[in-house]
């Protein structure tokens, strides 16, 4: 079993399915105002995309029992890769180590799924915080650009 993922304050960081109890708190997750060029103004947008599209699966990020963020994932049959999107840690919870632990938890979850050989995501080249995080986690550029965003991938053994 892998070790528990904790933020810098010692809170346990986990991913949880959206349910009747937590969906409101997940929907209310919001980035800082200056980050709205990079992600939606509210995670509610991503929750609706997951519900309507049938492509993405949203998950709540919890620190102990507090909802602190949103992530989502999908499998793309065209490039045979899992994709991560909608990564938002609430403005009030950023810089505490939650984002890194949430990404580690999601990579672990996806790597246990069938046919997971590669995990992809994309980010704006101006989003230096996200770029540093993804690079530190081992994501490397594929050379592709989608909607002006740099596509990176992590190979999974
Ligand atoms: C990017 C984001 C998910 C990181 O979450 P977080 O909980 O703040 O990140 P952590 O505290 O776990 O920090 C992890 C790493 O991210 C990087 N990072 C995060 N914010 C940063 C900032 N403002 N400037 C520089 N680096 C930053 C650092 O490399 C940091 O590593 P360190 O702990 O060694 O300094 C969060 O800032 C966020 O939600 N941003 C707005 C939405 C967004 O841009 N999502 C990504 C879209 S692709």
Q: 71-85, pLDDT tens digit by residue?
A: 999 999 999 999 999
| Alpha carbon of 75 to ligand 1 centroid (Å) | 24
Tell me the CA–centroid distance for residue 88 and ligand 1, in Å: 9
Residue to substitute in 90, 94, 107 for testing ligand 1 pocket (most ligand atoms within 8 angstroms of CB): 94
User: Mean pLDDT across the chain, nearest whole number?
Assistant: 96
User: What integer is the mean pLDDT of 15-25?
Assistant: 98
Q: Which helix (H) or strand (E) holds 136?
A: helix 128-136
Q: Which of 46, 65, 41 is nearest to 56 (CA)?
A: 46
Mean pLDDT of 96-102: 98
Residues touching ligand 1 (Cβ under 6 Å) are 31, 35, 38-39, 87-89, 94-100, 123, 127-130, 132-133, 136
Domains detected in the chain: 13-116 (3.40.630.30)
The pLDDT, as a whole number, for residue 147 is 95
Neighbours of 49 (CB within 10 A): 18
Calculate how far, in angstroms, residue 142's C-alpha sits from the geometric centre of ligand 1: 21
Nearest-CA residue for ligand 1 atom 14 is 100
| Structure-block tokens of residue 124 | 């704006």
Q: For residue 60, which of 12, 92, 82, 27 has the smallest C-alpha distance?
A: 27
Instruction: Give 133's pLDDT tier (boundaries 50, 70, 90).
Output: very high
Q: What is the Cα gyration radius of the chain?
A: 15
- Provide CB contacts within 8 A for 81, sequence distance 6+: 75, 117, 118, 119, 120, 153
* 138 CA to centre of ligand 1 in angstroms: 15
Give the nearest ligand 1 atom to 96 CA. Answer: 11
pLDDT tops 80 at residue 3 = no
Give the tens place of pLDDT for each residue, 49-76.
Answer: 999 988 999 999 999 999 999 999 999 9
Examine the pLDDT at 1 and tell me if it is beyond 60. no
Confidence of residue 114 (pLDDT cuts 50, 70, 90): confident
């Amino acid at each position: 079993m892998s070790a528990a993922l904790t933020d810098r304050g010692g809170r346990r960081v986990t991913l949880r399915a959206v349910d009747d109890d937590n969906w409101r708190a997940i929907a209310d997750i919001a980035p800082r105002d200056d980050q709205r060029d990079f992600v939606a103004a509210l995670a509610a947008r991503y929750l609706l995309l997951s519900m309507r599209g049938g492509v993405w699966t949203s998950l709540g990020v919890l620190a102990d029992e507090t909802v602190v963020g949103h992530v989502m994932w999908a499998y793309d049959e065209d490039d045979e890769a899992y994709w991560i999107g909608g990564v938002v840690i609430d403005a009030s919870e950023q810089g505490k180590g939650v984002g890194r632990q949430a990404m580690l938890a999601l990579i672990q979850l996806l790597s246990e799924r069938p046919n997971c050989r590669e995990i992809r995501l994309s980010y704006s080249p101006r989003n230096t915080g996200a770029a540093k995080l993804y690079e530190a986690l081992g994501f490397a550029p594929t050379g592709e650009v989608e909607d002006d965003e740099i596509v990176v991938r992590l190979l999974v053994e």
